Amino acid sequence: MDYVFDTYALLEIISGNDNYKNYLDGGVVINTFIFAELSYILIRDNHPNAHKLLDKYSKFILSGKPQLIKEAMVFRYKNKKKGLSIPDCISYFMAKDLNIKFLTGDKEFKDVDNVEFVK
């Protein structure tokens, strides 16, 4: 099964969290917003394999449709008290559009429909 991965999920995979092993068997989908966030964190943290990992994950980027981005920002605004990130909201709507689940461990998405929540 394919999933739209958020940055949290990718970082957990990179750090070796066993709870995410099963999700590597399916397809990985990310967007440029998630890729930018992942790039920043790996570079900021001076990860020894940053460039290799970014090359690997760059192959999974799909573009988000402009209409999805608008819908995601309406969703973010309506839920502003939750502190949802822009990349996560866009990824969530991208997953819905692709008829696949959004994979995350971010507590703000724990009980949201169409989310695969893993810690």
Average pLDDT, the chain: 96
CATH of the domain at 62: 3.40.50.1010
40: containing domain:
3-117
What's this model's pTM, rounded to 2 decimal places? 0.94
Within 12-66, strands assigned E span 28-29
Number of domains present in the structure of the chain: 1
> Using one digit for the tens of pLDDT, what is the confidence trace for 29-58?
999 999 999 999 999 999 999 999 999 999
Both tokens of residue 24? 């590597």
> Using one digit for the tens of pLDDT, what is the confidence trace for 65-82?
999 999 999 999 999 999
Is the pLDDT at 118 greater than 90? The verdict is yes
Please state, for a pLDDT cut of 70, what percent of the chain lies above it.
100
Q: Among residues 87, 104, 11, which one has the least CA distance to residue 49? A: 11
